[in-house]
């Protein structure tokens, strides 16, 4: 990260590409290419990190719509 931040001081214009010599571990690719999905099942029921998050969402949006993405007035328009 320090290498990237130093670039703010040394780059002389937009469009410059600098190879910092770092690379991501490729383990995530092997995980993504597994033949079946081992994550928990996905559904349209809101999932919360903890009870406090669920309570806050329910207070703000009501018990029938407790997901900000589902509230039409909060959906970004382009």
Q: What is the mean pLDDT of residues 40-65?
A: 80
Considering only CA atoms, which of 58, 52, 30 is closest in space to residue 68? Answer: 58
pLDDT tens digits for range 11-39: 888 888 888 888 888 888 887 787 877 77
Q: How many Cβ atoms are within 10 Å of 48's Cβ, its own excluded?
A: 14
Give the pLDDT score at 77: 55
| CA 64 to the chain's CA centroid | 25
Domain residue spans in the chain? 46-78
Give the pLDDT score at 40: 74
Task: Check if the beta carbon of residue 32 is closer than 8 Å to that of residue 24.
Answer: no
31-to-28, 37, 43 alpha-carbon distances in Å: 5, 9, 22
Q: What is the mean pLDDT of residues 62-75?
A: 60
């Amino acid at each position: 990260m320090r290498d990237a931040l130093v670039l703010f001081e040394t780059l002389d214009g937009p469009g410059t590409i600098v190879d910092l010599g770092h690379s991501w571990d490729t383990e995530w690719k092997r995980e993504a290419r597994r033949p079946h999905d081992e994550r928990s099942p996905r559904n349209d029921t809101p999932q919360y990190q903890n009870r406090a998050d669920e309570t806050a969402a329910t207070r703000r949006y009501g018990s029938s719509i407790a997901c900000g993405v589902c509230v039409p007035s909060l959906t970004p328009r382009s």
